[in-house]
Chain A
Amino acid sequence: MPTEKAVAHHWRRFSERYGLIGSRCTSCKHYFYPTSIICPKCRRKGKIEEFKFSGKGNIFSYTTIRIAPEGFEKYTPYVVAIVELEEGAMVVSQVVDCSPDDVSIGMPVESTFRKIREEGKSGLILYGFKFRPLK
């Protein structure tokens, strides 16, 4: 059974996972996902603000998962990629709506709203972004 603490932990991340919301440093124009509260480059001079990413990007690198961690077994084989968002940030995410053979480095993708994981039959359903090939 998930603990109260686990529910609260998921809950705090709902908005960033649902909306692909991270942050950016307005001083040096660096983008962060997940949100960074301090700019590693500008340090104290950095100005950080919340930022909603467009959801468009390209595949920077990827791998095919054949032996999945708990909760993801039913999806195998599936692709997990590092996606370089058009604003510059890198995110790790599942790539859906295509077979592993269709995926290549540099492939344009867009975000889509999906179920990420279910905590068993009676637990929470965790939603968030994944990526799919750009039509």
Chain B
Amino acid sequence: MKAGIVGYGAYIPRLRIKSSNIAKVWSADPELEAKMINEKTVPNMDEDCATMAVEAARSAILRAGIDPMKIGAVYIGSESHPYVVKSTSSIIGEAVGATPNMMAADLEFACKAGTSAIQIVNSHVLAGKIEYGLAGGSDTAQGRPGDALEYTAAAGAAMFVVGKKDVVATIDSTLSYVTDTPDFWRREGEEFPRHGGRFTGEPGYFKHILGATEGILSETGTTVKDYDYFVFHQPNAKFPLSAAKMLGIPKEKVLTGLLFPKIGNTYSAASILGLCNVLDTATPGSRILMTSFGSGAGSDSFTMTVTDKIGDRRDMAAPVSQMIERKEYIDYATYARYKEKIKGVL
């Protein structure tokens, strides 16, 4: 018997900054930058990876309609865990009422840590080790002031209850593609990440996204035509659309899961927030192929099928579209204060 998503939950913070505001501060061309991204989410001063994950997890549990004590595992992927030593997963477990009988760990694999968490919980469920597991990704991404990443590094979370009973989408298969590739990194104690510049696209994003996606299509004996929605990791709007083109996927099948232009790059939450938006709209029987990407580097692919349970469960929590619309703009000065960022200027 397959396992799948019993409940899903998204969290997108309310604050936004327009990329034109960031561009003005650094004397960059606002129109040029605005072409890449309109605006991005900003966490409030009292929000972090843990608070956003808890909000998303509570929505996922509401949709699942289960007793949180039945959750036997909590895995959370992030590159912005609030503590270096002291788990985020235990904070989430405590806040949703799943402690103490649960497996738990914090995961890191750049932007694919959230999908790695889902794979682990899915495996525990398939093995019959647990009835339900909670997994996902949450990030408050940081970019060095003035760096290209500053325009896109955003905040968000998506969490999933995985189990076998009453799933809203079955997880039909999952496959990963991983190599040791230094496209992006952050060393212990360093506040901001470094990236290999131009080097990041080809051997990083595209090689792994295509490797995993072509791999899962071949392993499942399916083609692009068999899927209604594709969701890819989205560090910008261009990469997922280019990947789709290379794979022969029509643009329409990618757009529902492409939230980047409205919220920015939410790192560990990026592909799975796109998945939440697809689950908010897809009809029963729809087939979804999602591929994440994490620098370092690797991709996790999933094929899923939406079930007729989706109709009852969808309205139990706020949809992604509502969280995208519920926003308040801040200027760069407020943004710098909120992100406690001024010290990062060299």
Binding site for B on A (CB under 8 A): 14-15, 18-19, 52, 74-75, 96-97, 112-116, 125, 127, 130, 135
Q: Which of B31-84 touch A at CB < 8 Å? A: 44-48, 50-51, 54-55, 58, 82-83
Q: Given A52-B97, A116-B46, 11 more contacts at CB 8 Å? A: A15-B94, A18-B95, A113-B58, A114-B47, A114-B51, A115-B46, A115-B48, A125-B48, A125-B82, A127-B51, A130-B46
Q: Is the CB of B50 within 8 A of A127?
A: yes
Complex A-B, nearest 6 residue pairs according to Cβ-Cβ distance, in ascending order: A114-B46, A113-B54, A18-B95, A115-B46, A113-B51, A97-B14
CA distance A116 to B51 in the complex (A): 11
Q: Is the CB of A74 within 8 A of B337?
A: yes
What are 22 inter-chain pairs, A to B, with CB distance below 8 A? A14-B94, A18-B54, A18-B95, A19-B95, A74-B337, A75-B45, A97-B44, A112-B55, A113-B58, A113-B95, A114-B44, A114-B47, A114-B51, A115-B45, A115-B46, A115-B48, A115-B51, A125-B48, A125-B50, A127-B54, A130-B46, A135-B326
Q: B44 — which chain A residues lie within 8 A by C-beta?
A: 96-97, 114
Closest A residue, CB atoms, query B337:
A74
- Least CB distance from B58 to A in Å reads 8
- Least CB distance from A51 to B in Å reads 13
CA distance A116 to B50 in the complex (A): 12
- Least CB distance from A129 to B in Å reads 9
Q: Of A18, A52, A74, A127, which is within 8 A of B45 by CB?
A: A74
Tell whether B241 is near chain A: CB-to-CB under 8 Å.
no
In this complex, the interface size class of chain B, counting residues with CB under 8 Å from chain A, is 20 to 34
User: Contacts A96-B46, A115-B51: A127 and B322 contacting too (C-beta < 8 A)?
Assistant: no
- Least CB distance from A69 to B in Å reads 15
- Least CB distance from B303 to A in Å reads 33
Q: A15 — which chain B residues lie within 8 A by C-beta?
A: 94
Q: B97 — which chain A residues lie within 8 A by C-beta?
A: 19, 52
Closest B residue, CB atoms, query A114:
B46
Q: Is the CB of B14 within 8 A of A18?
A: no
CA distance A18 to B318 in the complex (A): 21
Q: B326 — which chain A residues lie within 8 A by C-beta?
A: 135
Q: Is the CB of B337 within 8 A of A127?
A: no
Tell whether B316 is near chain A: CB-to-CB under 8 Å.
no
Q: A116 — which chain B residues lie within 8 A by C-beta?
A: 46
- Least CB distance from A39 to B in Å reads 24
CA distance A112 to B59 in the complex (A): 11
CA distance A127 to B88 in the complex (A): 12
- Least CB distance from B338 to A in Å reads 9
Q: A75 — which chain B residues lie within 8 A by C-beta?
A: 45-46
Q: Is the CB of A135 within 8 A of B95?
A: no
Tell whether B126 is near chain A: CB-to-CB under 8 Å.
no
Tell whether B91 is near chain A: CB-to-CB under 8 Å.
yes
- Least CB distance from B326 to A in Å reads 7
A15, A114, A116, A135: most-surrounded residue (chain B CB, <10 A): A114
CA distance A74 to B46 in the complex (A): 10
CA distance A75 to B95 in the complex (A): 23
User: Contacts A74-B337, A112-B55, A113-B55: A127 and B47 contacting too (C-beta < 8 A)?
Assistant: no
CA distance A113 to B94 in the complex (A): 12
B46, B82, B83, B318: most-surrounded residue (chain A CB, <10 A): B46
- Least CB distance from B179 to A in Å reads 35
- Least CB distance from B44 to A in Å reads 7
Q: Which of B20-34 touch A at CB < 8 Å? A: none
CA distance A125 to B83 in the complex (A): 9
Closest A residue, CB atoms, query B50:
A127
Closest A residue, CB atoms, query B54:
A113
CA distance A14 to B96 in the complex (A): 12
CA distance A62 to B10 in the complex (A): 30
- Least CB distance from B81 to A in Å reads 11
Closest A residue, CB atoms, query B99:
A15
